[in-house]
């Protein structure tokens, strides 16, 4: 009797039965389909009218910032503050009137450190009875056999003016006399001293000093005058 051959097992059986592979593929596709349906139903749709989130806007490096509000400037007094421009309201209203003299404007009030107008002091003027040129005598340096003296003068008048100094000593000899930094004047010597006439005028309120070198005499003069008025300081 012949034996009935047994069906092969393992890969040989799969190869000889293709329907097993087809069936396994169908089962896998069905499972994947159910998984996809479940994942789709799990998502919640976005509500109607919802806006997508706003994307951040990158800032530009170096772009100038725009202030939200500009502070109002401090009040400016017309004609006083240095920031005011144009004519003051009073001048604009009376533009038909003739302009003021610049000399009068210079004599008007000025602005002080606190911002308030202050009166401009008038130029220095000689008081009644006071000489226009005042002088003061002093000894600058003393040494063996002589000394250097000085007569300092101030113009207290309201105009430029020249000056004349007269110095008298008990004997002695004048070596030289000079005024520093200005044209020199004229020297006239005598037996008892010398006279110096200025070579340049002194402006109002200005000052000038005459220096001289004397030998073989005392440092204190017998007489010192400026324009005939006695000096101070000796």
Q: What is the pLDDT of residues 186-233, one digit of tens each?
A: 999 988 899 999 999 999 999 999 999 999 999 999 999 999 999 999
pLDDT band at 136 (very low <50, low <70, confident <90, very high): very high
pLDDT of residue 188: 96
pLDDT of residue 28: 83
Please choose, from the candidates 195, 205, 206, the residue with its C-alpha nearest in 3D space to the C-alpha of residue 164.
195
Tell me the pLDDT tens digit for each residue of 4-22.
Answer: 556 555 555 555 567 777 8
DSSP class of residue 60 equals: P
pLDDT of residue 187: 96
Return mean pLDDT, the chain.
73
Contact 210, 179 (CB under 8 A): yes
Name which of 10-19, 114-123, 145-154 the model is least confident about: 114-123
| The token pair that represents 36 in the structure block | 């996809």
Residue partners of 105: CB distance under 8 A and separation at least 6: none
pLDDT of residue 204: 96
Contact 209, 180 (CB under 8 A): yes
Q: What sign for the dihedral angle of Cα 24, 27, 31, 37?
A: positive
Beta strands in 62-219, from DSSP E residues, in sequence order = 110-111, 117-118, 133-143, 146-155, 164-168, 173-178, 186-190, 193-197, 207-215
Residue 115: pLDDT over 80: no
pLDDT of residue 173: 92
pLDDT of residue 4: 56
Name which of 59-68, 129-138, 171-180 the model is least confident about: 59-68
Q: What sign for the dihedral angle of Cα 63, 67, 71, 72?
A: positive
Tell me the pLDDT tens digit for each residue of 170-191.
Answer: 989 999 999 988 899 999 998 8
Q: What is the pTM of this model?
A: 0.47
> What whole-number percentage of the chain has pLDDT above 70?
54
- d(CA 183, CA 201) in angstroms, rounded, equals 10
pLDDT of residue 93: 45
Bridge partners of residue 167, in order along the sequence: 194, 224
Contact 84, 77 (CB under 8 A): yes
Tell me the pLDDT tens digit for each residue of 72-114.
Answer: 544 444 443 333 334 444 444 444 444 444 444 444 444 445 5
């Amino acid at each position: 009797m012949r034996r009935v051959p047994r069906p092969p097992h393992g890969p040989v059986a799969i190869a000889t039965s293709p329907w097993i592979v087809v069936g396994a593929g169908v089962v896998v596709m069905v499972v994947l389909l159910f998984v996809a349906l479940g994942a789709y139903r799990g998502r919640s749709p976005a509500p109607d009218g919802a806006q997508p989130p706003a994307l951040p806007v990158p800032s530009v490096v170096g772009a100038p910032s725009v202030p939200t509000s500009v502070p109002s400037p401090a009040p400016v007094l017309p004609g006083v503050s240095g920031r005011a421009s144009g004519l003051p309201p009073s001048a604009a209203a009376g533009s038909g009137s003739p302009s003021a003299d610049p000399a009068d404007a210079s004599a008007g009030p000025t602005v002080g450190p606190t911002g308030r107008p202050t009166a401009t002091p008038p130029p220095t003027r000689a008081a009644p009875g006071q000489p226009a040129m005042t002088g003061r005598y002093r000894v600058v340096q003393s040494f063996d056999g002589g000394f250097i003296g000085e007569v300092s003068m101030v113009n207290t008048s309201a105009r430029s003016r020249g000056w004349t100094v007269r110095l008298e000593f008990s004997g002695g000899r004048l070596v030289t006399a000079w005024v520093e930094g200005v044209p020199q004047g004229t020297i006239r010597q005598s037996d008892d001293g010398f006279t110096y006439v200025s070579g340049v005028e002194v402006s109002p309120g200005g000052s000038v000093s005459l220096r001289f070198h004397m030998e073989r005499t005392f440092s204190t003069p017998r007489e010192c005058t400026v324009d005939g008025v006695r000096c101070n300081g000796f």
